[in-house]
Structure 1
Amino acid sequence: MTEETLKEGVVYTEGIRYKKDKCPVNVLIRSVSIGKEGEVVGGYGIYTDITKIKKYEKKLEYLSIYDALTGVFNFNYFENKIREYKEKKDLQFGLIMCDLNGLKLINDTLGHTSGDEFLKIFADILKKSVRGNDIIARIGGDEFVVILPQVNNREEIKKIMERIKENIEKYNQAIQNKILRLSVALGCSIGDNKEIDKILKEADDAMYRNKLLTKESSKRQLLSVLMAMLSERDFVTSGHTQRVADLCKKIAQKIELDEDKKSKLVLLAEVHDLGKIAIPDHILKKPGKLTAEEWEIMKSHTEKGYPIALNSHELSDIADLILKHHERWDGKGYPLGLKEEKIPIECRILSLVDAYDAMMSKRPYNQPKSKEESIEELKRCAGIQFDPYLTEVLLNILYEEV
């Protein structure tokens, strides 16, 4: 019993005790004195296991300064460090602003798990590239900053930036999943703590200029990789795409479709199933019939393809067509349930031609039909699944080929 307990009656304190297996336990100790006729005659202690609470406190303390995903410092720590720098005298330092290209596209196609992996990979590359006393912080979804204390000139900063670029290039050459290729916009600045706001703005402006120069090329590269991956994973081979595009052009010519819609139709024929890149292989390649739950996931490829196309300069004009290419004439299609001529004509042509080519092609889920069987199927679905007028146009083209 401590002297303090004797005076106060009850005292709380924390400590560490050990189990029989020598495992430490955090405990809250409540020391209570026992009195009799105004005198303290003894006392006792109550021990409460608070190990879980202490672990939680440590976790909260960690999360207050570190980014939970990447392990680098977070925005809160960065702000406090800048505030600390402002209060010091004659301190010169540098900044490197970093903005990852393509994170949104990866999140939209492969999901946020892949996007998180993308961020962790880049954080690891930054750790390898900077000096031991440099400070890395994640200050936004895809934005990082490196604080460089004790730099003498801009050339020193540029050397660090070159190391970042070299390590990114090494990573890109080594990976097999090319969609996870890294592309980053960098900007730097240097100055003393009397002009911190100016340093921040200069580095941010330089990074943004660099991002404008690299953004579109990065998107084009990612889009090419996506289409190549889709070709490997799905039945969308170059032969299928070419056949569909050729037949779409024939229909467009027969109905005298205007050139703008014709060009969109041909592009749509090439990339309409882009969203399937986000569909799991066990569903995409399943040889048997899909379950109701699997079918709902498969149908989501139109909605997954829409933001990918919208985020691409080359495909933004047909993003709406990608979303609607599985609508049906009777309104029972997906995802919007559009009916008849409310469905864009490019989508009506594509769905007709794509279905015809699918009937005659070997797929994981069906055996190919003969041309005669496929023609009969088109006739049966005219006015139900397909535009009846366009179906008639396609049938005439097919009869001419015979």
Structure 2
Amino acid sequence: MRYVLALDQGTTGSAALVFDESGAVRGSADREIAQHYPASGHVEHDPDEIFATTIAVARDALTAAKANVRDVAAIGITNQRETTVVWERVTGRPIHRAVVWQSRASAAICDELRSRGLEPLVRERTGLVIDAYFSATKIRWILDRVPGAQQRAERGELCFGTVDSWLIWNLTGGRAHVTDVSNASRTLVFDIHRGTWDDELLAALDIPRAILPKPVRSSGVVADCDASHFGAAIPIAGIAGDQQAALFGQTCFSPGQAKNTYGTGCFFLENTGVRAAPPPKGLLTTIAWDIGEGPRYALEGSAFITGAAVQWLRDGLGLIKSAEETDAIARSIKTNDNVYFVPAFTGLGAPYWDPRARGLLIGLERGTTRAHVVRA
């Protein structure tokens, strides 16, 4: 029996699944990761914890599957997108915590880019809007914040990567510095039409090309993981950002097919085929995947906080002990009694793209209960 090990590194945790040749899940595991909020609107993760939990859940899933590691044919990786890690090329040590896709830390940099009239160029080349959501302004923010980082980046001493790059770098012992095109298309400096890093946008942000990973296809062996991690060198053969992976996993292979994912956030993607369709106002165009036949594209609408609001009910307010409780609590009342919740904890995504918006809980009165808040 041969197996595939799937690694899913997400915003709230890391997960792994082991599939057999029939596509059945033979083993799985997951672990939460800590969320860090060092300032208003800032969200960060520990890159070392990201990698450590990924290795841990992979080993746990292989154990649960009772799989011989030498029978694992390949590793596939899917990941939270846009989250930005910058590390030292020689030591592999991060120079800063990972700046998470939800973080609004680079909002002022976005304001400056808009003031220079760069929005049309960004839209044309990348399919995106200028927003702190995307990686490039997070890179700029880290290079500005860490003393000497800009000079080290220019000398080629630093590496940038989204989470897929960070995992692959560590899995291969630093032998592979790559990202797939679906993740690259979320950086704000990748030309989605030519499939290359865009020199004009890199210059606008003063980001040295030397720190960037090599863009690769979403399917195909990029390197073998180091045998020290699992006891054998396993080929890493698939990479995709989590929302593009979900589009593929929901078998949306034809233009016009779409999916909506409810997770930490809410993400609607529609396959547009070989055409990078000009997005309607407020939406995005992104690369869905490239599995060897050229890039396929998608339209996307993103809401930053959905499932994460349930985590906030548990950890922030202490109104629930587990996410599973929310369904019964919400159904315990017939209406929300005009209590409404806007989960703009880290700004608003599509179609507003307002990084400074904040959450609202409105319509409260003396009769408002925990159930009303949960239902809202």
TM-score (norm 1): 0.25
User: Which gives a bigger RCO, structure 1 or 2 (Cα 8 Å, sep 6+)?
Assistant: 2
What TM-score do you get using the length of structure 2 for normalisation? 0.26
Larger Rg: 1
Greater helix proportion = 1
